[in-house]
Chains A and B, each alone.
Chain A
Amino acid sequence: MKQRLLTAIAAVAMVASPALAELTIVDTSYRTGPYAANGIPFSDGYQDYFTLLNERDGGIGGEMINLIECETGYNTEKGVECYEATKGEGTLVYQPLSTGITYQLIPKATADGIPLHTMGYGRTSAKAGEVFKWVFNYPANYWDGASLAITHLLEQNGGDLSGKKVALVYHNSAYGKEPIRTLQSLAEKHGYELMELPVDHPGQEQKSQWLQVRQQRPDYVIMWGWGVMNQVAIQEAVNIRFPMENFIGIWWSGSENDVKSAGAGADGYKALTFHNLGSDYPVYDDIQQYVVDTGNAAGAGDQIGSVLYNRGMYAAMLAAEAIKTAQEMHGVTAINAAQMRDGMENLEMTEEKMAALGLPNFGPEFKVSCENHGGNGFGAVSQWNAEAGEFDLITEYYQSDQEVIQPLVEEDSAAFAEENGIEPGC
């Protein structure tokens, strides 16, 4: 039985390996399970942008992009399986879209020499490029997010948060625990009281957490949620009539799927973002023309223009720009993973570049360097307008409190370097 199964697998694995294309990108997506509501739009955006480049420009620098999709279900075991199955294909970069899988892949990808781009998630201290040579988390990370949220609250309170109570409702995993240390440091600096409310995976049961919110009446609630947890939290907040404008989600808790189910009650809910929203950009005309109308749209094609679709597209755009940078640097079009890493490390996003791509004013300008793999930590606050059914930016892009974050990054990356015997250096 066992042997028969194994031979069957062997036969299939041999048949299954596709032909090597020049530029291989793996999309480790999740279109099933409790996180699918958020995984689908991101993956659609990520794939559609590469499809657009293939259809419109004939790939990047004349090299076609071979996109492989692998379903992880936000599950670490399946994520490892996906990574092992696809790393031999000459993959240029992984975008796991899961902090848990990122933690698995950091040592593996470093040993195999394949760059990881964990855009706005993953291990925050990967910003320290001298320690995490193969990991990038530009343009912003969780600690930036925590600081941005607090800065926003400071602005609303005239620069003084002392005596206020801030609750953190978080996914009880590596993802949700990331901001705690920053929020604690910021609590010391600004004098607010931090209240921690963990929610266990997958997050469908949050009655007791919101009962605590009701009893202890925090002035503000910050949320680190993902998947079904977002919808439930926002619904619960509506149920206890928590004022929505005092409820701020991280950028992973601010998409249409999360708020729509709560109806009109969710109006005024705020979420952070590190890129612009909506579909009012020239690139969307091209996506319509080259991707949707030709029938090549990923998934059901109904997510175009949503927050997470934009984010997936932004991730793909940054990857494509890194490929272009690498092609220019090394003078070859068919780059490999090591050259891709150089491209990512020398990536510079400017307003002219984004405008030329049909995405004017879409994200903050930033420049990656060997010391800084994490960008400059710019973000903005968006607010849900239930009537119009869209998130609108209500602030300009502003920077996180680097004074607090930089020492934390240095401390955590130094600890990682020591644990793993890494010699930091550029």
Chain B
Amino acid sequence: MFYREAGDFKTSYVADSQTFPIKFDRFRYYAVLLVAFAIVPFVINDYWVNAVFLPFLIYSIAAIGLNILVGYCGQVSLGTGGFMAVGAYACYKLMTGFPEVSIFFHVIISGGITAGVCVLFGLPSLRIKGFYLAVATLAAQFFLVWLFNRVGWFYNYSASGQINAPERTVLGVPITGAETAPWAAYLFCLVFTVVCALVARNMTRGMQGRQWMAIRDMDIAAEIIGVNPLKAKLSAFAVSGFFVGIAGALFFAVYLGAVEVGEVFGINKSFLVLFMVIIGGLGSIFGSFAGAAFLVLLPVLLKNVLVGGLGWPTDLAAHFEFIIVGGLIVIFLVAEPHGLAQLWRVAKEKLRLWPFPH
């Protein structure tokens, strides 16, 4: 009824190819942004920020980054945890090396450094594909974690090998450290998430994204029609690394504040982000958000329901969480192998016809 193109006339190519061509969708999107920027910061507390919003926003950025590599360019990567660690340690070295610079720039530069490292480990992709590439990136994961554990320079030779985020500010407002107000941490991450999503969305539907998708769908055919595989693959690694690095830097500096590389950026993290991408939907920006929401928020929700609401013992609840989340993943993927994004797409198609489907 409300959700349809009819009556919404486009008079330019720009208007015609916008991300949300349907008016209702567009206003819903503006409304979400308005709520996220103008209302949420005033009502959230520490719990909401640290247990719900920060992990969701940061994992979304990581999922977007990995989605570019896996979903759009078809290069399987199991090194996300290691690349996030690069972002985190780069940010730590920058924060402690240049304390007077705003943390905002540190995060962006960390993304850049991670992009470089990611390209380096992406070089094998020029020769190998599929499972073999997955193994090569797995090597990156283990190598990077080992490196950050082994070389004292990365953690400033602290006795424990941990890195701790000192207090850093943006325009005088503390963003990292213990004195951070919940709204400041939230807004800082929100800005990065929104900008990353916008950049990723526009990149993936432009020439660059089409090259990536051509490589994904059939690399030989892509090469024949003039796509340079070296440039396309390495640029995918670079862009993906940039986003993942930003996610890693935020994860360490804003969300956790102290990081132990083996535990926080281990192989589990790589799998978690990969599952987000797969469950959310390969090759979809919305899917990255949906996947992150599914895997970050659902356990928190289940915990609150089972322990807080029903009063179950915590260990039983923790085990049931695994069963329920695992079961839902299987059900979702059986019902819709293309992930939550495809479910959303189907729902939108249905909405267009509602309430008169014939």
Residues of A within 8 A of B (CB): 1-3, 5-6, 8-9, 12-13, 15-18, 29, 31-32, 36, 40, 69-71, 73, 75-77, 80-81, 84-85, 87-88, 99-100, 103-104, 107-108, 110-111, 123-124, 172-174, 177-178, 180-181, 198, 200-201, 299, 412, 419-421
Whether a CB of chain A sits under 8 angstroms from the CB of B160 is: yes
Whether a CB of chain A sits under 8 angstroms from the CB of B300 is: yes
CB-based contact B297/A420 at 8 Å: no
CB-based contact B160/A178 at 8 Å: yes
Residues of B within 8 A of A173 (CB): 161, 260, 262-263
Give bound CA distance, A87 to B179, whole Å. 15
Whether a CB of chain A sits under 8 angstroms from the CB of B46 is: yes
Partner of B309, one of A12, A100, A107, A174: A12
Residues of B within 8 A of A (CB): 32, 45-47, 50-52, 55, 149, 159-162, 164, 166-167, 177-179, 255-260, 262-264, 266, 289-290, 293, 297-298, 300-301, 303-305, 307-309, 313-315, 317-319, 340, 344
Residues of A within 8 A of B263 (CB): 75-76, 100, 173, 201
CB-based contact B290/A9 at 8 Å: no
Interchain residue pairs with CB less than 8 A apart (6): A70-B314, A71-B303, A177-B159, A178-B159, A180-B159, A201-B262
CB-based contact A9/B52 at 8 Å: yes
CB-based contact A9/B301 at 8 Å: yes
CB-based contact A71/B50 at 8 Å: no
Closest to B304 in A: A12
Tell whether A104 pairs with B258 under 8 Å between CB atoms, given A71-B315, A80-B50: yes
Whole-angstrom distance between the Cβ of B239 and the nearest chain A Cβ: 24
Residues of B within 8 A of A87 (CB): 46
Whole-angstrom distance between the Cβ of B287 and the nearest chain A Cβ: 11
CB-based contact B160/A103 at 8 Å: yes
Tell whether A198 pairs with B50 under 8 Å between CB atoms, given A173-B262, A174-B260: no
CB-based contact B301/A8 at 8 Å: yes
Q: Counting chain B CB atoms within 10 Å of each CB, which of A29, A103, A201 scores highest?
A: A103
Q: Counting chain A CB atoms within 10 Å of each CB, which of B47, B256, B315 scores highest?
A: B315
Tell whether A81 pairs with B300 under 8 Å between CB atoms, given A32-B315, A110-B178, A420-B167: yes
Give bound CA distance, A3 to B293, whole Å. 10
Closest to B179 in A: A111
CB-based contact B164/A103 at 8 Å: yes
Give bound CA distance, A85 to B49, whole Å. 11
Tell whether A73 pairs with B256 under 8 Å between CB atoms, given A9-B304, A84-B50: no
